Structure 1
Amino acid sequence: MAYKREHVKERFRPKPGKLLDQVREVMRYHHYAIRTEQTYTKWILDYIRFNGTRHPQEMGKPEIERFLSHLAVNRNVAASTQNQALNAILFLYKFVLDMPLNDYIDAIRSKKQKRLPTVLNLSEVSQLFQHISGTHELMAKLLYGAGLRLMECIRLRVKDIDFENHHIIVRDGKSEKDRATVLPKTLQEDLRFHLKGVQKLFEQELAEGRADVYLPQALAKKYPGAGKSLIWQWVFPAKNRSKDPRTQKVRRHHAHETGLQKAVANAAKKAGIHKRVSPHTLRHSFATHMLEAGKDIRRVQELLGHADVRTTMIYTHVMSVNFETLGSPLDNLDSI
C-alpha cells in the first residue's frame, strides 16, 4: 500500500511522557502545520482504540493492516483518507517510537472513486455573488477569480498581493508548494480599499503594543521583527484576538474558514442554485471557465498548482456542451 514519503531527516527524541504529547512534540520540532498535527494525533488515537488501547510498541504490521482494512470495509472511507491514516501511523513508528516499518502494508484498499466536480455556469456565479456581501464577497470572488483553495485564500498575507504585476503569490499551498496565480483586475480597487482597513487595524494595535502575527518557527527566528510589520499581516484577519494553541500567545489570527463556508452555502440557497455549492466549487468553476475560454491547459495547471496535468484534465469533462445541437437518437424517430 502506497504512502507519502516523509521528508524528516534527523531523529528527534521527545521527552518522556504521554504518547500523543510526544507525537505533538516531534511534529512541532519539524514544523508540521497545526492541522496536520491535529489530524495525525486523531488517526493515531483511533488506531490505538481500535486495537483495544494497546500501546503501539506492542503492535505492528498485522494490527495496522486490520485497522486500515476496517477503515475501507466498515467505515467506507475514501482512498485519500485511508492513506492519510497510514501516513500518521507510519510517522508514529518511524519518528516517535523509532520503530520504522519496512514491511509492505497489505491492507484492503479503499476504492478511489472518480467523480466529476460540481461546476457553476457563468450565470450561476453571477447570481451567487449577488447574495453575498462584505469581506466574504471579496473572499469568494478571489476563490473564483484566482482559482484559490479555501485555506490558500484565508492564509494570504499582505505581501502576497502584487498589484503592479497583477498576480497573487500562494505560499505553502498543497504539498507545501509556492505558486503564482492571476489577480483579477476587477477586484483590485476593492482589495486596495480592504487592505487600507487592514492597515488601520494594524497601526492601531501597533500603537497599543499588541501588533503581532503568527510566523512559522523558521521565519520567526530568521526575521524576529517580521511579526510586527504590515507586510506579514493577514489579508483577512479575524474579528477578535485569540490564544495560539501552541505558544499560548494571544494575538489576531486569520479569519476562520467556517465563516466563508457558511456564507457561500447560504448565498447558493438564496440564489436558488440547486447544486451542492461550497467554496471549492468556485475553484472548480475557475478552472472550467478558463478552459472554456481557450486558455492553455498547461497554464491552467500552473495557476491551480496541480502536480500532474491529468488532474487538470478532469475539468474537460464538465466543460459546457451544446446538448441541444448534439441531439438524441430519440428525437429522430418522428421522421421515420
Structure 2
Amino acid sequence: MNFVQPIRDQETIDAIKEFLMKRSHRNYMMFVLGINTGLRIQDILKLRVRDVNGEYLVMTEMKTDKRKIIEINPLLKREIKRYTAGQQEDDYLFPSRQGGNRPIKRDMAYKIMKTAAKKFGLVDIGTHTLRKTFGYHMYQKTKDITLVQTLLNHSDKAITMRYIGMDQDTMNAAMRRFGL
C-alpha cells in the first residue's frame, strides 16, 4: 500500500472542489463528505441517502466494527441537501454509472482522486487522503491531538501525529531553519 499525504493547503482543496464539481456532482460530493467526516473510503461508499438525511451520520465502521456517530456540520448538511434532492432514501449516495442500485467501487474512487491529483500536481494522493486531510485540518483548527486521535479511532497520539503528516511538517520546518 502506498503512503499518502493530506492536502494541507486550503486553496488547493477549494480548487479541487471546483474541478470535481465541474466534472461530476457525485465526485465532488464524495470528496466533500470525506474531508468533512474523516471516514474511510470503504465506509463512505456504502452510505445510502437515508444515512445522511438527519443531524447525525450514525454507522458502524467496517474496519473496526465500532459504532460511530458524526454530527453533520452546516457546510456538509447544505451540500448533502443539494446533492440528494430527488434521490430515493435507499439509493446509494455514490451510485455507479453501470446501472442498478450499486455504489462506485474503491478503484473508481481512487481514479477520481488520482485525476484531481494529476490536475493539481499533487503526489502521494489516494482515497485515504480524504481522511488524512480531515485529520490534518481538524488538528490545525483545534490543536487538540487527543480529539483528532479519538475522531480517527487511533490508539496512540504519536500514531495520529504521523498519520496526519504533522511529523513531516515538523521535520520540514526544522530543516528550513537548519544550516551549518
User: Which TM-score tier does this pair reach, normalised by the shorter chain?
Assistant: 0.7 to 0.9
Note the C-alpha offset of 1:318.
Answer: 3.4
Q: Distance in 2 between matches of 1:309 and 1:141?
A: 26
Residue 44 of structure 2 is matched in structure 1 by 153
Shift of 1:310: 4.2
Q: In structure 2, the residue corresponding to 1:176 is in which secondary structure?
A: coil
- Secondary structure of 2:57 counterpart: strand
Corresponding position of 2:59 = 170
Paired with 2:141 and 2:41, the residues of 1 have a C-alpha distance of 24
Are 1:298 and 2:156 matched, yes or no?
no
What is the one-letter code of the residue matched to 2:67?
Answer: D
Residues 117, 260 of structure 1: CA spacing in aligned structure 2 closer, same or farther, 3 A cutoff? closer
Alpha-carbon deviation of 1:169? 2.3
CA distance in 2, matches of 1:116, 1:259: 19
Q: SS of the counterpart of 1:276? A: coil
The secondary structure found in structure 2 opposite 1:272 is coil
Q: Encode CA deviations 1:199-224: one digit per residue, 9 max, x unaligned.
A: 2xxxxxxxxxxxxxxxxxxxxxxxxx
Residue number in structure 2 paired with 1:179: 68
Does structure 1 retain, via aligned residues, the 8 Å contact 2:8–2:136? Answer: no
Once the two structures are TM-superposed, the CA of residue 121 in structure 1 deviates from its matched residue by: 1.6
Structure number with higher relative contact order (C-alpha < 8 Å, ≥ 6 residues apart): 2
Shift of 1:266: 0.8
SS in 2 for 1:179: strand
Partners of 1:179 and 1:302 within 8 A in 2? no
Within-5 A mapping of 1:70-219: 117-122=4-9, 123-133=11-21, 134-161=25-52, 163-164=54-55, 167-199=56-88
- C-alpha deviation, 1:116, in angstroms: 6.9
Say whether residues 1:260 and 2:117 are aligned partners: no
Shift of 1:319: 4.3
- Distance in 2 separating the partners of 1:147 and 1:328: 34
Query: Partner amino acid for 2:148?
Result: V
Change beyond 3 A, Cα 1:159–1:298: farther
Q: Distance in 1 between matches of 2:14 and 2:171?
A: 20
Number of corresponding residues = 174
Give runs of aligned pairs for residues 240-279 of structure 1, distance below 5 A.
240-241=98-99, 252-273=101-122, 275-279=123-127
Aligned partner of 2:133 among 285, 290, 298: 285
TM-score between the two structures when normalised by the length of structure 2: 0.79
Unaligned runs of 5+ in 1: 1-77, 79-114, 200-229, 242-250, 331-336
SS in 2 for 1:235: coil
Name the aligned partner's letter for residue 80 of structure 2.
Answer: L
TM-score, normalised relative to structure 1 = 0.45
**Are 2:38 and 2:152, in contact at CA under 8 Å, matched by a contact in 1?**
yes
- Alpha carbons 1:240, 1:252 under 8 Å: kept: no
Residues 276/326 of structure 1: CA separation in 2 closer, same or farther (3 Å cut): closer
The root-mean-square deviation of aligned C-alpha atoms, in Å, is: 2.9
Residue segments in structure 2 that go unaligned for 5+ positions in a row: none
SS at structure 2 position matched to 1:197? coil
Letter of the 1:311 counterpart = I
Q: Kindly, what percent of the aligned residue pairs are identical?
A: 25
Closer, same or farther: CA 198–267 of 1 in aligned 2, 3 Å: same
Determine the structure 1 residue equivalent to 2:94: 236
Instruction: Name the counterpart of 1:327.
Output: 177
Q: CA deviation at 1:196?
A: 2.2
